[in-house]
Structure 1
Amino acid sequence: MNGQIAGPPLSSVRLRIPACMGAIAYVQHATHWFVEQAEMAERQSFAINLAIEELILTLLRHAFDGGSEQGDLEISIELHSTLLRLEVACRALPFDLSMVPSYQPGEAGDDASLSVLLLKHMVDRYHLHNGGRDGYRILLEWLRPLAHVEEMDHSPAPEGAAVQADGPVDPIAEIRPLREDEALALSRLVYRSYGYSYVSDFLYYPQRIVARLQDKTLHSWVAVSERGELAGHAALMSSGPGAAAVEWGIGVIDPRWRGQNLLRKLSAEVTRQAAETDASILFVHAVTNHPLTQKSGIRLGFQVTALLLGFAPADLEFRHIHDQLSQRESTFIGIRPLKPLPKQALYLPARHADTIRLLATGAGIALIEATALTAHPAEDAVTAFDTLIEPSVNVAFMNLASAGAELASSLAAERRRLCREKVDVIYLNIDLSSAYAQYATEVAEADGFFLAGLTPMQPWPYTLTLQYLNNLDFDYGAIHAVGEQAEWLKTLVRQEQQRVSG
């Protein structure tokens, strides 16, 4: 799943200033103009100023050794249609938030821990990227105050939101792209099926739907009744034009129109349009608390290649389909190749080589295995992760950008940091075209990560995904698996979890 997506900024500024206490007021002042343009409330403006103060204080304490180290802060401020983004980059002492212990109320001299605690609670999203020799970047984002569907629509909820309508419903007239002026109608449609539990909460903010349509990160198709009512929806989601992978999703049918094969018809149109994009892979997150999404995926030619445990919160609900979940929702990743993947020599971890071959063959992906031996990282290499926390589902994605001799300690430190952030699941992605892929997999499994599967083009053409559960237990019996491949993969993932946990 992609993180918060935003198109080109409406306005932006870039600054380079010395790392010192005076930088706090300077950055706050520079950000204030963007806050005013975004029409953010005084409470949100206060949170932004506090986050800036605590971030710079934290950097001065740990990256600049309390001021004894000299250097600059590179500041980027961008205003997008749906959010305000602040990025701070610097090249200073190696640093990550795992260096800061958890805040303990009442303990003296705990200012550093309090700063980090306040920082986390003053933003909608933050992202720390360690670039090794290139330094690191800290990204903060705040959502703009856009109207929620409840504020825009004061009419009573339609009867279909609570019970299925009696008698015949209006016939479907056409399937076509969603218009921007139908964003509120889409929000209402999502409510009919999910209440307010849908994972992607931008769907409850019509202006955010419009922004994504304009940014080309969302391409929506709807089934429209003869009276103009939205009866169903399906979409393609991506990071933007030119994305290597696009996601089929937001398949929603109004309960009053279920049983008419609308989702199949909408999905056929979506997959046809996907083939005309630049993407090499079309993928889907198929939920496992009921079989419907998996069955739809099979009919559309998706092949299961990964099982992501606990991907979505337990409060995900499907009105008229299933009761509240007893555990976090797991999803099968199904893929459908749209174009051949780039030809690369691959270093398959020995323990998982047969599994990777089977998953790839089933999905129609050709593998070119390297003839050279796998290798440990070069002595002068530095470990770097690109880590993203996705607050809407409370999971983290770690891309192993490079591996150094200290990989084991760096991975353990990053994993501990994310666990202290209280994310529920950590997904670790390893590039199989890297000669150190086997070594990295062994190191990760020694740290408690276990197999999830193959996730092509997310982010690399041939990506192996492992997963780590932060004090979660799963009842595999509650995970519905449709088809032999899904059943086999569910069993394998369970076995791998048991093997790694010892």
Structure 2
Amino acid sequence: MNRQDTAAISLPNDLGYLPAALAFVRAIAEYTGFGPGDRRRIELAVEEAAANVIQHAFPPGETHSFDIVCRQVAGGLEICVHDKGVPWDPTLDPDYQPDVSLDQQTGRGLGEFLIKQLMDRYSYQNLGHDGKQVSLIKYLATPHIGDTRPPPDESHTRAGPPPHTGPSPPTVEYDIRRMRPKEAIAVSRAVFDSYGYSYAGDFVYYPERIAAMNASGQLLSAVAVVKETGEVAGHNALLFSDDLPAELAIAVTRHEFRGLGIARELGAFLEREAERMGLRGIYTKQVTVHPFTQKFVAKLGFRDCGLLLAHSPRTLSFKGIADQAAQRNSDVLGIRLFGQPQQRRLYLPEQHRDVIVDLYARLQIPLELLGAGQPPAADQRTLLKASINSARSLCEIHLDQYGSDLVGLLKQELRRVRREEINLVEMYLRMTDPATPWVSAEAEKLGFFFTGVLPETRGGDALVMQYFNGIQIDYGDLVIERPETAALLRYVSERDPNN
């Protein structure tokens, strides 16, 4: 994000300054394009978050400051309220119960409840020595694809796609190129053509968000455009995040253009774009309800490196392929590296050393094993970032630094997961850190289990661990294309504490 897209204000922990904070946020929201109603919602949410910091973050009588940072994100505005006050465990606050009578209400938990109702996304981050912050995101009220087309006819969903009505595939000529903003609506409709309204990343149904994410660099969309008609026949994209490698994602081809090799050409185009950008690798998630995605990415040169079990809700469907999932959808992780991989010097957990060494051999990545590692220093604090994706019922944890307080922080996050009824946690541990073997062992005591590795994350090659909250996987239902990945699945299933 460019510097000009961010604005910040620092204020004393005095309620008298709250109107100034709200005036600042109101002006930024108006500049971003929010109407009066949404501006008021944003103000109320920030008022709750800022008042909580002023009243509770610092010892009584002490004067401190806190920051409010506004940052334009694709299609909306993120507001972070940051302080270096007393550590806080949000899981210890009781849930506000809106259905309970007023006589029985204590008011505790009401602020967080209101913020979640007013904003589109809400998350809390423990930043170690840098304190803590809450992140609030509000999206502009842009049209949903469902507002611009008739209600979907789902009558064909179980029987397969509608009869072919487009041009004959052998005679279709098309161009592969980057998406233009006006084509975002066609991309949304192509996603609908493949998934209905079941795709977990809801931004794909908001054309303005797709265009905004491309403009901001969060997404790089490629399209196949029919030369004769200008129709968008297919789409694929690189999706960028702060912590993980760029992901090859949102690969869809409209049903009347399938069988032309469009998906493969789009994937190859994006690989060239990734190399041109200087990326050392990209990754992808391959569904396990059918073998087609796994076969497709293998042709692009991806190699399997792990699993993300139960990663998507069971509501995800594939029209005419797998319309009714019996359980949450699991993915195979695949990585595509560019150029000659550099040698890795890693600390591996002893209990999974052999399987990880085998994975790196299949990835053709040179590996040097370092020592057994050691626990973090007693005076070192953990830097933990946890974000919740409500649509997927998923909590993602990244650890930038391990500290002696790590186990307590993980327990805190698991309490929050259970309280908010989040189905699973995915955690990424940096294998370049000598404390990773100790961390993985402690995490397994809490119910986490190993599911693979993911090279080229922001913190280096990562060990992938998962935690299930009240769910189980029927491993026999997963469709796995390659024998070596099936062997990894057996290894994981035997160590899944929920199995």
* Fold shared by both chains (TM-score > 0.5): yes
Stretch deviating more after TM superposition (139-148 or 399-408): 399-408
The answer to whether the Cα contact below 8 Å between 2:306 and 2:333 also exists between their aligned partners in 1 is: yes
Q: Name the SS for the 2:200 alignment partner.
A: coil
Identity rate of aligned residues, in percent?
30
Q: 3-state DSSP class of the match of 1:275?
A: helix
Q: Residues 319 and 257 from structure 1, CA distance in 2 versus in 1: closer, same or farther, beyond 3 angstroms?
A: same
Select 1:144's aligned residue among 128, 140, 148. 140
1:412 Cα offset (Å)? 0.8
Count residues with an aligned counterpart: 490
Residue 463 of structure 1 corresponds to 462
Provide the rounded CA distance (Å) in 2 between the counterparts of 1:197 and 1:180: 24
Counterpart CA distance in 1 for 2:3 and 2:289 is 39
Secondary structure at 1:326 match in 2: coil
**Distance apart, 1:350 and its partner CA:** 0.2
Residue in 2 that maps onto 1:227: 229
Gaps in structure 2 of 5+ consecutive residues: none
**Quick check: 1:314–1:325 contact (8 Å CA) kept in 2?**
yes
**C-alpha contact 2:125 2:133 (8 A) present in aligned 1:** yes
What is the alpha-carbon distance in structure 2 between the residues aligned to residue 158 and residue 113 of structure 1?
A: 41
Residue deviations 1:369-425, cap 9 Å, x none? 21x441111111112211122233221111122222232222111221233232221
Q: State whether structure 2 residue 72 is matched by structure 1 residue 79.
A: yes
Number of the residue aligned with 2:328: 328
Matched residue, 2:493: 494
Partners of 1:316 and 1:159 in 2: CA distance: 17
On the 8 A contact 1:9/1:80 being kept in 2, the answer is: no
**TM superposition shift of 1:347:** 1.1
Q: Alignment partner of 1:422: what SS? A: coil
- Residue 4 of structure 1 is matched in structure 2 by none
8 Å contact kept, 1:40–1:144: yes
Tell me the equivalent position of 1:18: 12
Which segment drifts farther, 280-289 or 383-392? 383-392
Residue 56 to residue 109, structure 1, CA distance change in 2 (3 Å)? farther
Mapped contact 1:39–1:145 kept (Cα < 8 A)? no
Distance 2:441 2:5 in 1: 45
Structure 2 counterparts to residues 181-220 of structure 1, below 5 A: 181-220=182-221
Once residues 445 and 21 of structure 1 are traced to their aligned partners in structure 2, the CA distance between those partners, rounded to angstroms, is: 44
Task: Provide the rounded CA distance (Å) in 2 between the counterparts of 1:404 and 1:447.
Answer: 17
Q: Does 1:378 align with 2:372?
A: no
Listed as ranges, the matches of 1:18-417 within 5 Å are 18-65=12-59, 67-104=60-97, 105-106=100-101, 108=104, 110-153=106-149, 163-166=162-165, 169=168, 171-177=171-177, 178-225=179-226, 226-239=228-241, 245-340=245-340, 345-370=345-370, 372-417=371-416
Q: Matched residue of 2:447: which SS? A: coil
Task: Give the alignment's Cα RMSD to 1 decimal.
Answer: 2.6
The TM-score, its normalising length taken from structure 1, stands at 0.90
**Stretch of structure 1 that moved more, 221-230 or 378-387:** 221-230
Amino acid in the other structure paired with 2:76: L
Partners in 2 of 1:22 and 1:186 — Cα distance? Answer: 48
- Shift of the 470–223 alpha-carbon distance from structure 1 to 2, 3 Å rule, reads same
Report the Cα distance in structure 2 between the residues aligned to 1:47 and 1:475, rounded to whole angstroms: 43
After TM superposition, the structure 1 stretch with the greater mean CA deviation from structure 2, 289-298 or 176-185, is 176-185
Structure 2 counterpart of 1:3: none
TM-fit CA distance, 1:81: 4.8
Q: 1:91 to 1:355 in 2, by over 3 A?
A: same
Q: C-alpha offsets along residues 422-467 of structure 1, whole Å, 9 cap, x if unaligned?
A: 2221111111111111110011000010012101123322100100
Q: Please, which runs of 5 or more residues in structure 1 have no aligned partner?
A: 1-6
In structure 2, relative to structure 1, the CA distance for the partners of 1:364 and 1:406 (3 Å cut) is: same
1:160 and 1:256 in contact (8 A); partners too: no
